[in-house]
Amino acid sequence: MKIIVLNGFDTDNLFEKYLNSWFESKKVLVANLKIRDLELGPCRSCGSCGTRTPGQCVLKDGIEDVMKTVVTADVMILLSPVHFGGYSATLKKVLDRFMLLGLPTYFVKKGHLLHQNRYGKKTFMGLGVMSKDLALETSKAAMENFQKIVEANANNLLYDYSTTFINDQAATETWDQSLNKIFTGVSI
Amino acid sequence: MKKMIIFNGSPRKQGTSVRFAETLGKHAAAQGVEVMDIVHIIDLIDKKITIDMCIALIDAVDTIGICMPLYVDYMPYPVLFFLERIQEVAMEKLAGKQLFAVMQSGFPDIRLMASTFEALRIFAVESTMKWMGGLAFGGGAIINGTSMDKLGKKGAKISHAFQMAVEDLVLNQPFQPKVQTVLEQKIPIILFYPLTWYMNGSAKKQAKANGVDLFRRVYQTFH
């Protein structure tokens, strides 16, 4: 099983380090894409990846290397601080380019127009990091919304998905429990 | 006099989001609102403008609007970048201001836009702004950057919805549900099937004309 972490943090942080050491302790090789270190620009909505250069971005900004790694993944961990109940801008910069993972053809499922995937079925694991009291009303709304976005992204490519939240103020034992829970039943 | 600024969240400067911003601006001006500018957020990403310039504009208005496309089921990266930076460096300047959004997607289905509006509502709560609501338009691909006045009845309907939205803003009240009802194109789900058949056929035809395989796996390398 190949796991890729799409790391949407802007700066070094304790949880990111903990996650790397957690995977090491499980003897799992993980590709960690620190998006903040990549020279990536925004999707320009030129539409070329639809039918002119199907599945290929015409921008030469490092997206090719990202995609070559991403298409090999079985599981993509969408690691992000929860900002306004969604992804960080840094993570979304890469996800905006994920039109490349879908075909420009559609089908209808449960009343939604969905894309067919180009590289087969994968799994999105949303890993939202909260830096506020999880009991606060806005935090609950934020987690609910984050979950819905991960679900929509997965559904749109016919991927499996799960979402877990980490409180960055919590003790590392709690982080450990959360990570164990995420990977329960996943053969890593 | 109320003052408004509208941000275009699309990387395209002549697309549907900008046409919507212009139409909103026209109605705002007609109702006595001074529209300071339509600012392209992509210029912030491209370093043609600075966050300080955006903050100076925000500081001068009571109402902030964002027109944007739906990208991969959520707001586009440039809009998120913009919101993060503003909150980071000038959250106190947002307090008490009205915030609204108009989102459009190429598809007729508008349900996925709810997550963006909820995120903007949370942003508004965190920034002690007044969330006025989000308006969703499905079918942006049909408009494809055309002015409302060249779209006949369809354009008139969209324009009317925006006029109603501005009326609510002027009255300092959140968008009433009827604004969304007027804006919405009611396409029954049953029609998604022939639409899918048409769009898929069209995509295959275009790829054939371009001499490319629509289903190719460009980034897959075999070792």
Cα–Cα distances in angstroms (integers) from residue A28 to residues A6, A21, A22, A66, A132, in the given order: 16, 10, 9, 20, 30
DSSP A96: G
Nearest to A142 among B84, B122, B207 (CB): B122
- Relative to beta strand A112-117, strand A102-109 is antiparallel
Residue B148 burial (10 A CB sphere; 0-12, 13-18, 19+): buried
Residues B58/B86, Cβ–Cβ less than 8 Å: yes
Cα–Cα distances in angstroms (integers) from residue A30 to residues A6, A33, A78, B138, in the given order: 11, 9, 13, 39
Query: How far, in Å, CA of A138 to CA of A129, rounded?
Result: 14
Cα–Cα distances in angstroms (integers) from residue B37 to residues A76, B25, B171, in the given order: 40, 9, 21
A interface mutation test: which of B118, B219, B222 has the most A CBs within 10 A? B219
The pLDDT value given to residue A110: 85
Query: How far, in Å, CA of B120 to CA of A83, rounded?
Result: 10
**Edge-to-edge strands of the sheet including A123-130?**
A30-34, A3-7, A75-81, A123-130, A160-167
State what percent of residues in chain A have pLDDT above 70.
96
B interface mutation test: which of A113, A118, A144, A148 has the most B CBs within 10 A? A113
Query: How far, in Å, CA of B175 to CA of B196, rounded?
Result: 32
Kindly list the residues from chain A whose CB atom is less than 8 angstroms away from the CB atom of residue B73: 149, 152-153, 156
Residues B116/B100, Cβ–Cβ less than 8 Å: no
Distance from CA of A81 to the nearest CA of B (A): 12
Query: How far, in Å, CA of B223 to CA of B220, rounded?
Result: 10
Helix (H, G, I), strand (E, B) or coil at A161: strand
Kindly list the residues from chain B whose CB atom is less than 8 angstroms away from the CB atom of residue A107: 196
Per-residue pLDDT tens digits for B148-201: 989 999 999 999 999 999 999 999 999 999 999 999 987 888 988 998 999 999
Query: How far, in Å, CA of A29 to CA of A73, rounded?
Result: 12
- The stretches in chain B having pLDDT less than 50 are none
Cα–Cα distances in angstroms (integers) from residue B216 to residues A18, A50, B200, B213, in the given order: 38, 11, 16, 6
Matching residue, tokens 């508008």: B110
Per-residue pLDDT of chain A (188 residues; tens, 9 = 90+): 899 999 999 999 999 999 999 999 988 889 999 999 999 999 999 999 999 999 999 999 999 999 999 999 999 999 999 999 999 999 999 999 999 999 999 999 888 888 889 999 999 999 999 986 655 778 899 999 999 999 999 999 999 999 999 999 889 999 999 898 888 766 65
Establish if A52 touches chain B: CB-CB under 8 angstroms. Answer: yes
Strands (E), chain B: 3-8, 34-40, 63-69, 98-105, 130-138
Interface confidence (ipTM) of the complex:
0.95
Kindly list the residues from chain B whose CB atom is less than 8 angstroms away from the CB atom of residue A156: 72-73
Q: What is the dihedral of CA B3, B9, B15, B19, to 10 degrees?
A: -20
- The values of phi and psi at residue A77, to 5°, are -90, 120
The pLDDT value given to residue A133: 62
- With CA atoms as reference, report the closest residue to B121 among B57, B175, B50, B164: B175
Kindly list the residues from chain A whose CB atom is less than 8 angstroms away from the CB atom of residue B44: none
Kindly list the residues from chain B whose CB atom is less than 8 angstroms away from the CB atom of residue A51: 203, 206-207, 210, 212, 214
Contacts A–B by Cβ distance under 8 A: 156
Rounded to 5°, angle at Cα B12 from B160 and B149: 30
The pLDDT value given to residue A68: 96
The pLDDT value given to residue A134: 58
The pLDDT value given to residue A185: 63
